[in-house]
Amino acid sequence: MRSGFVSILGRPNAGKSTLLNALIGEKIAIVSNKPQTTRNRIQGIVEVPARKGRNAAQIVFVDTPGVHRPGSQLDRRMMQEVYEALESRDIVILMVDAARYSEPMPQGKKPSARTERESSEDEFVLQLIRKLDCPVFLVINKIDLVLRSKLLPLIERFRALYPFAEVIPISASKKDGLDTLLMKLVEYLPEGQRYFPKEQFTDQPERFLVAELIRERILLETGEEVPYASAVVVERFEEPEPVAAKSSKLPLTRISAVIYCERSGQKAILIGKGGSKLKSIGAAARKEIESLLGTRVYLELHVIVEENWRESRYFVDSLDWRKQLEDLAQAESNSDEKTSVTRNPVGKPEPKPKRKTGRVPQVRPGVPGTKKKGEAPPLP
């Protein structure tokens, strides 16, 4: 058996999250046409069955935020996620948008500020992969949007910039070329054992996926600065009570989440006239969450202004689901210690010796995550 970690790298809107969802067969990464939708590195696990002439494999894909030059503290945190994804990997996929490079560069004309910025960021991405000592695949996405005759010049252009181990054209949205991609990845992976249980498809807990689904609706239903100035934290996630065997109703999961924004004007947009926008966001998100959890969902949403949170390192760090799990574990530990306090004969509280709380694992193989509720659809 072969196994390993494959980090997916690329500029914003290259289709990295669409690829991850297509490979997993489950929606574990939110998708929108707005840049910088992904803020955290996301792990998705794919089981590749053995076939004639091909080993079985477990591939752990690591989706990353779009590579960009950081401005705010949030940007710097997102780029830190990229760097950490590149530290522990067996293969790296550089994903590019074919449609973005299909038009020829204008000759004798001064490039626009946007073109210069994009060219600078392309070079920034190439600098990252030039430091790697592992195979790098060039995956050219969105080939359904360009003429086939434009692909060969594009491939030659990138091959001149870096000696890619493989170049694979795909359409993540159409699931075209994904089987070829998996087959080639298995060839380059080392021999090894499974890092995750066979039925697990992501290391993310359900409460983080819920927060992301709510944020996805904000991205889709609001414009201008609001999506980028919004963050979602699930404050309460109550597992459903078991229902009677004869009941026709699904169990009910109760969720309460906070949407943070930076200004009162953004709060007004998120709430909308008479609460209409918040109701619309909540109703659409609830349907997605019910599909994810397989239960009915009661969802409460609140909007809070946290001024300039994108520049607060403490606040930005607190949005990481790994940090949230650590805080939850610490809170539960503190609660256990408070209930175990006994009194001595003179009436003074004598606390039980403090127990050390084990850190909730970071991105470590085997960390409990979300498991499959059904088999993923087969790749074409």
Per DSSP, the residues of 353-380 read PPPPPPPPP-S-TT---EE-SSPPPPP-
Per DSSP, the residues of 324-359 read HHHHHHHHHHHHHHHHT-EE-TTS-EEPPPPPPPPP
Residue 81 tokens read as 């996620």
What is the signed CA dihedral for 241, 246, 249, 253, rounded to 10 degrees?
Answer: 10
Token pair 């993923």 is found at 376
Burial 351-379, CB ≥16 within 10 A → b, else e? eeeeeeeeebeeeeeebebbebeeeeeeb
Distance CA 60, CA 190 (A): 13
Backbone angles phi, psi at 304, to 5 degrees: -130, 140
Q: What pLDDT is attached to residue 105?
A: 57
Flag residues of the chain having pLDDT under 50.
341-367, 374-380
Residues 6+ apart with CB under 8 A from 260: 230, 231, 232, 233, 303, 304, 305, 306, 309
Task: Assign 3-class secondary structure to 129-184.
Answer: HHCCCCCEEEEEECHHHCCHHHHHHHHHHHHCCCCCCEEEECECCCCECHHHHHHH
Distance CA 87, CA 184 (A): 22
Q: Which residues sit opposite 48 in a β-bridge?
A: 57
Q: What pLDDT is attached to residue 67?
A: 84
Q: Look up the pTM and report it.
A: 0.81
Query: Judging by beta carbons within 10 Å of its beta carbon (0-12, 13-18, 19+), is residue 34 exposed, middle or buried?
Result: middle
Distance CA 192, CA 5 (A): 11
Residue 67: name the closest of 4, 139, 8, 142 by CA.
Answer: 8
Residue 214: name the closest of 203, 202, 222 by CA.
Answer: 222
CA-to-CA separations, 183 to 16, 77, 164, 311, 379, in angstroms, rounded: 18, 33, 17, 43, 12
Distance CA 150, CA 98 (A): 9
Helix runs in 273-320, H state only: 276-293, 313-318
Residue 143: name the closest of 168, 117, 120, 113 by CA.
Answer: 168
The DSSP letter of residue 218 is H
238-249: pLDDT as tens digits: 988 877 777 778
Q: Which helix (H) or strand (E) holds 236?
A: strand 231-238
Distance CA 85, CA 64 (A): 7
Q: What pLDDT is attached to residue 327?
A: 76
